[in-house]
Amino acid sequence: MILIVDAGNTNVSIALYKEDHIIFKDRCETIKKPDNDYYQAFFDRVYKQHPKIKGLVISSVVPVITDTLFKILQSSYYIKPLIVNSELVEDLKIDLKDRNELGADLIATTFGAFRKYQPPIIVVDLGTATKISVLDEFMSFKGGLIIPGISIAQKATEMMIPHLPKIELDLPKKIITDDTIASMQAGLLYGTIYQVQGLCEAIEEELNVKATKIITGGYSRYIKEKMSDYHYEEDLLMDGLLMIYHKYHKQ
C-alpha cells in the first residue's frame, strides 16, 4: 500500500492506495508553521489505523511544513518519503521560463491528466486558488492561470461587507434568486462556473484547438452538475502522485 500526502494551503490531505484504488482518506487543517506536535498527533492517528505500507509520497505547496512532514513520516514508517518537485520529474516537459516555479500540485494533476485523457487538455483545479493548467498535444505543460478561489472570495465578502450573512456553499437551481443568501450563493458559484467556462473558451481560441476539459479539486463538487462537458475527477491529484511514485521511486 502507498500513502499519499498532499499539503495544500487549506488542508493536509492523505490517501492510502491499495493497488490503484483509494481505501482510506483523511485530512487535517494546514497550520502554516512547523508545528511538530500538531502534525505528529495527526499522523500518529493515521499510523495506528494503517501501520503497514510500502511507500510514501509527499506533495507540498507549503514549504515551511515540508521538512516537518518528511521527518514525521520517515520516523513513523521507517521509509524515506518521495518528495515531488520539478527536479524529480526531469522528463516532464514544462514550457515555463523557470520550470522550478511549477508546484507539486500542478505537476501531479498534469501526470494524472496525461494518464487518463487524450491531449490537449485543460485542467481546472478548484482549491484555495482556482488554477487552470494548459497541457498541449506534445505532452507539455504550457502554462495557465491562477485566480482567487471560491473560499477566498467567500472570506473576502465576509470581511469587506460584514453586514451580509455568512453562507453555506450550495448551488441554487436558478441564477436569478429572491433572497440575500441565495443571491450570494448564486453569485459565488455561478460566477465561478462562467468564469471558468469563459477562460477555457478563450484558451481554446488562443490555441486554435478544442481541448479535453477536466475539473478537480475540493470545490469542484459544488459546481460539477452544471459543467457536464467537463470530466469530473475527484482524485486527479492523488492519482497523479501515485503514478509519479510508480515511475520515479527507486527500489
> What is residue 57's three-state secondary structure?
strand
**Residues of the chain with pLDDT > 70: what percent?**
100
pTM of the predicted model as reported, rounded to 2 decimal places: 0.91
* 214 inside domain: yes
* 89 inside domain: no
Q: Which of 66, 77, 85 is nearest to 244 (CA)?
A: 85
Residues 74, 103: one domain? no
Residues 62, 15: one domain? yes
Residues 125, 183: one domain? yes
* 234 inside domain: yes
Residues 111, 223: one domain? yes
Residues 181, 221: one domain? yes
Range of the domain at 12: 2-83
Name the domain boundary from 49, 83, 117. 83
Question: What are the pLDDT digits (tens) for 21-62?
Answer: 999 999 999 999 888 899 999 999 999 999 999 999 999 999
* 249 inside domain: no
* 236 inside domain: yes
Residues 76, 13: one domain? yes
Specify the pairing of strand 231-232 against strand 212-216.
parallel
Residues 124, 195: one domain? yes
* 198 inside domain: yes
Count the neighbouring beta carbons within 10 Å of the beta carbon of residue 212. Answer: 16
The whole-number pLDDT of residue 7 equals: 96
Residues 139, 57: one domain? no
Residues 48, 107: one domain? no
Residues 25, 67: one domain? yes
* 93 inside domain: no
Q: Answer whether residue 251 shows pLDDT above 80.
A: no
Task: Supply the DSSP string of 111-163, one letter for each residue.
Answer: HHHHHHSPSSEEEEEESSEEEEEEE-TTSEEEEEEEEE-HHHHHHHHHHH-TT
* 22 inside domain: yes
Domain count, the chain: 2
The whole-number pLDDT of residue 33 equals: 87
Question: What are the pLDDT digits (tens) for 204-241?
Answer: 999 999 999 999 999 999 999 999 999 999 999 999 99
Residues 133, 23: one domain? no
Residues 157, 77: one domain? no
Q: How far apart are CA 125 and CA 83, in angstroms?
A: 21
Q: How far apart are CA 6 and CA 233, in angstroms?
A: 16
Q: Answer whether residue 177 shows pLDDT above 80.
A: yes
CATH of residue 172's domain is 3.30.420.40
CB distance 232 to 215 below 8 Å: yes
